[in-house]
Amino acid sequence: MRPDLALLIQQVTMRSSGERESVNGTDQVELSILMPCLNEAETVAICVQKAVSFLLLHSVDGEVLVADNGSTDGSQALARAAGARVIDVAERGYGSALIGGILAARGRYVIMGDADDSYDLTALGPFLERLRAGAELVMGNRFRGGIAPGAMPNLHKYLGNPVLSFTGRLFFRSSIGDFHCGLRGFNRDSVRALGLQASGMEFASELVVKATLAGQRIEEVPTTLSPDGRSRPPHLRSWRDGWRHLRFLLLYSPRWLFFYPGLAALLLGLIIGAAIIPGPLAIGGIKLDVDTLAAASAMVIIGMQAVLFAIFTSVYASNEGFLPPNAKVKRLLRVWTLERGLAVGAALGLAGLAGGIASLVLWSGYTFGRLPYESVLRLVLPSATALVLCCQLVLGTFFLSILGIRKSGQHRTPGVGRIESEAVAANGSASEMQPGLVPNQRGSHAATRPRHRHRA
């Protein structure tokens, strides 16, 4: 055996057995190849061997790290025997295993891949090259690289992945074509700064979404997907995990969850209502009358509430640090002060009250008996809608003012989440941390670069 190859094998074995080497005074290496694992005895060894061979053949100073999530089939011993360092992650879930692995990783860069032998872990060169060139997140794209027959269910290939990836691109203006590829690489410190928290399969979406919102440099390379080597069913559950991904995308996009649907309902209701208030509206053979006016009033009320929810959510999420500040909302709040909100609400209230009084006067003309509802409801429904909008605006404006109150001396750092909080718990109190630093596995600190290129 060549002496240099023997030395590389010895170095990987030392890291895998838990011994620490000093690299310029630290235990950091260039690359950690990270695999989440839960009962992967059939495939974990071959995956580790492929990852080790990549490090050796390309002379990469690195380690293979397996984040075990409670395997009961001996996966841990098999991974160690094949050359991996194994850590135990008690909290169950795909995302939990990866977060634990990111905390434990010694590499400046991390490339994550499943331990089911579906990804080619000997072909990680394009990922590492992009990371070395400055990319902070490098995504694999299976649709560009090739999906072998039987490697992906048709439900995922033609519906799940395309729909969810399109939704992610639409909601967050991302250019990623394959949101859910399990083979991806990233700068460890950049990802630690994102505050990742998802414990389940939606971790895959969270990483892309938060990196996009933080303005990180994201690139994509083709990769292949092969049928996995397991005889048991996969951990992924199509409908459950698909819904969890979609739910995450919606919760992190108040514009698409609340604002756009609410604005559409509000405008459509106003247009329909304005057309019907003067009298019945005939469209072809269809006559729209006060029953349609009632539906339009409901659309206006629901639409206004949804728009307010969008603003509430954006302000709250920005204050709490799990969404970047929305520039458009900030401009709106500078204009829409408490006093102006109360003034507009009062004007709507007076209009509604005047309409209500006018309807009572009209009713008295009929000696408080039966009214011609087709004409009276044209006055009553807009008046009632105006009163409801008055309450929504006044209460909503007060609530926005409450959300804007900050405790004296309180400073919240956007993006601080579960990775940082777990690191603090493992390495000491937050007061012991230096500003802008994230503790690593041994309690030392790695600088994180602040991001300011947030998308509105």
Report the number of secondary-structure helices (H) and strands (E) in the chain: 18, 11
Answer with the one of 201, 227, 251 that is the final residue of a domain: 251
Asked, for residue 12, whether it belongs to a domain, the answer is: yes
Whether 222 and 259 map to the same domain: the answer is no
Whether 359 contacts 383, CB under 8 Å: yes
Containing domain of residue 149, as a range? 3-251
Question: Is 39 contained in some domain?
Answer: yes
Please, which contacts does 364-369 make with residues 24 or more away whose CB atoms are closer than 8 Å? none
- The verdict on residue 184 lying in a domain is yes
The gap from C-alpha 139 to its chain's centroid, in whole angstroms, comes to 16
**Does some domain include residue 59?**
yes
- Alpha-carbon distance 447 to 437, whole Å? 5
338 lies in the same domain as 288? yes
Q: Would residue 286 count as lying in a domain?
A: yes
Q: Do both 342 and 362 map to the same domain?
A: yes
The dihedral sign for the CA sequence 187, 189, 194, 195: positive
Number of domains in the chain: 2
Q: How crowded is the C-beta side of 63, counted as CA atoms within 13 Å? A: 30
Residues 152 and 262 in one domain: no
Are residues 368 and 309 in contact, defined by beta-carbon separation less than 8 angstroms? no
For 7, other C-beta atoms within 10 Å of its C-beta total 11
Nearest CA-CA partner of 450 in 439, 435, 430: 435
Which of 251, 270, 287 terminates a domain? The answer is 251
Residue 179 CB neighbour total at 10 angstroms: 24
Assess whether 238 and 284 both reside in one domain: no
Are 233 and 273 members of one domain? Answer: no
**Which positions ≥6 away from 249 have C-beta within 8 Å?**
164, 167, 168, 171, 172, 205, 209
pLDDT for the residue 439:
36
Quick check: is 206 in a domain? yes
Same domain (yes/no): 30, 53: yes
Co-location of 387 and 241 in the same domain: no
Residue 396 and residue 400: Cα distance in Å, rounded? Answer: 6
The CA-based angle 67-70-75, given to 5 degrees, is 70
**CATH code (residue 193):** 3.90.550.10
So what's the pLDDT on residue 215?
92
- Say if residue 42 is in the same domain as residue 134: yes
In this structure, are 186 and 285 located in the same domain?
no
Do 204 and 267 lie in a common domain?
A: no
Cβ–Cβ under 8 Å, residues 342 and 397: yes
DSSP 3-state assignment of 210? helix
Cα angle, residue 291 at apex, residues 289 and 295 outer, rounded to 5°: 115
Give pLDDT, residue 280.
Answer: 85
pTM of the predicted model as reported, rounded to 2 decimal places: 0.75
Note the pLDDT of residue 285. Answer: 80
Q: Is residue 103 part of a domain?
A: yes
Q: Which of 186, 314, 208 is nearest to 255 (CA)?
A: 314
456 residues of the chain, pLDDT tens digit each: 444 544 555 555 555 444 444 333 346 899 999 999 999 999 999 999 999 999 999 999 999 999 999 999 999 999 999 999 999 999 999 999 999 999 999 999 999 999 999 999 999 999 999 999 999 999 999 999 999 998 898 888 899 889 999 999 999 999 899 999 999 999 999 999 998 988 988 899 999 999 999 999 999 999 999 998 888 877 778 888 888 889 989 988 999 999 999 999 999 999 999 999 888 888 888 888 888 999 999 999 999 999 999 999 999 888 887 788 878 888 888 888 889 999 999 999 999 999 888 888 877 776 666 767 777 888 889 999 999 999 999 999 999 888 877 654 444 444 445 555 555 444 443 333 333 333 333 333 333 344 444 343
Of 362, 383, 403, the position where a domain reaches its end is 403
List the alpha helices (DSSP H) in 17-113: 44-57, 75-82, 94-104
Domain annotation covers residue 422: no
Tokens of 259: 């604002």
**Are residues 234 and 203 part of one domain?**
yes
